A and B are shown apart, each in its own frame.
Chain A
């Protein structure tokens, strides 16, 4: 079973540094294979280097794919992380 979801990235500095780390940690903790896709390129969401190499910027759309039972729950958690702005600004 697999499920996908399209998410718009909310961090004002995109998916770099801390936001990338938080996301990859969550993907690793999911315990099931998660793929993140931007445009044509798909990478293992548990790979920090893979995720950073996508060069995801603020406002970009990415697609999450989870291969597992209960995929929706995992997608909820990961999608929330991606839409949150982890970078402070005033």
Chain B
């Protein structure tokens, strides 16, 4: 009988293969007195920590990117002055180096675990450093990933950054961890590298070496003893995803050929090339905050222009939507608004703050117009957090005065979604920011874990607002895009198109999965799926209703 173990799926991947378990860590050293002098023990420990640090740093260099940053943080922990003091104290008390490292690291792990959450998960990183140092002191090989000599599904208690960084992706079909949540390193790195993964599967402890399992990240499940039908289904999905990833990067389109331009969300010009490589057809949201957040005053027109030129040069002939500075709430800027606000999310933020500081807006628009003149990209600009028709009109006029030909607004506030049919006639386009739109519709702070359950863009209340904007786009012939996380959820992307959205913008890593899902449905089907979701009462029902209609 097939049995399903559940955890938290990362991404949309699916895999089928034999389990290989990561060996349990070696036994902890016993509390015995050292036969060596404290100075000698101390020297051994220093050498071992040096060697392990060097090994972690070199793994980081080989892996690059995010993995490197994580490993560098681990090196920093290994060389932490407070920690080394704690080790040294034990060595001076006559303990062996092995035990001193074990006991001192354990003390700090406990502190992190008590703090819980993100920090609790860092305790695993520290434990990994300790095991490596102890193995080095004992002259044993470092603990690590098994190598059964064939492709496998790796099952581990939790994976350390050093393990995930150098995983042989030709061999590892999927990752399953017993511990760890969506912010564990296994999850972060699986997301970054597109590895199929399900984390926090408590019952995965019962899996044994060689057992064949299905790992379905899209369904957050591990299926043991799968039926032939399930295996065939998985094989088909793997082939489809592989074909989609290997296929020439075609423009986004529905099964009937309806074009759905797929764009990238970017936060700095440096990220542009990766987006192009993954098939982004332009940029749907370029955040300009990075230019402003690290300074006490707004950057000059010339400084801004150089950054914009760098970005626009990566997209000759393509659309690039730049969002005017969006400060306030979670991104305060002293020179824009230094008032203490009781409710910053409802305060002087977004376009409101820019209109209160016209000079900053004018400088940014000037720099953008100059950058457009110097490059071949098709530059669009949009205002953040627009809540009235007047604001939309004012921003559009400002942009036009500065020589920018296409200006639009972000729809993130329910008022502007409801009045989209009045707003679109006075501006060039609308882009829906689903993260904020969900926050304001559900009255649930997006940074607050205790109300995270309400932060679901599948909620029919949010979908109904998006429908208003989509319908207004249809009537006025003005383009409507989505640039929130909703666009990166493949099935929700189909729903958005069914609600009248024209373009989707997302983190570049999500492009392939969304492109594939769109290609499976016609415009009529997308509309039927959207109607089913709209008719639901809860976010979970909306998702299920969409799934049911999509599977027909």
Contact = CB atoms under 8 A, between A and B. Distances in A.
A84 interface: yes
B80 A47 contact: yes
Interface stretch (B70-78, B359-367, B543-551): B70-78
A89 interface: yes
A43 B111 CA distance: 14
Contact of B435 (A17, A18, A50, A90): A90
A60 to B, nearest CB: 13
A86 B111 CA distance: 25
Given A49-B108, A90-B484, A16 B119 contact: yes
Contacts of A44: 81-82
B64 interface: no
Nearest to B188: A17
Contact of B80 (A10, A49, A55, A58): A49
13 contacts: A18-B69, A18-B73, A21-B72, A48-B80, A49-B80, A49-B83, A53-B111, A80-B296, A84-B293, A89-B331, A90-B287, A90-B435, A90-B483
A85 interface: yes
Interface string A30-55: 00000000000001101111101101
Contact of B331 (A12, A13, A52, A53): A12
A21 B75 CA distance: 11
A80 B80 CA distance: 23
B82 A88 contact: no
A17 B483 CA distance: 26
Contacts of B289: 85
A24 interface: yes
Contacts of A52: 112, 115, 119, 122
B164 interface: no
B330 interface: yes
Contact of B118 (A16, A21, A25, A50): A16
A12 B293 CA distance: 12
B206 interface: no
A43 B82 CA distance: 9
B294 interface: yes
Contacts of A85: 289, 293, 330-331
Given A18-B69, A43-B82, A53 B115 contact: yes
A89 B290 CA distance: 11
A47 B330 contact: no
Contacts of A46: 81
Most buried by B among A80, A89, A90: A90
B433 interface: yes
A85 B483 CA distance: 21
B265 interface: yes
A48 B82 CA distance: 9
Contact of A47 (B81, B118, B447): B81
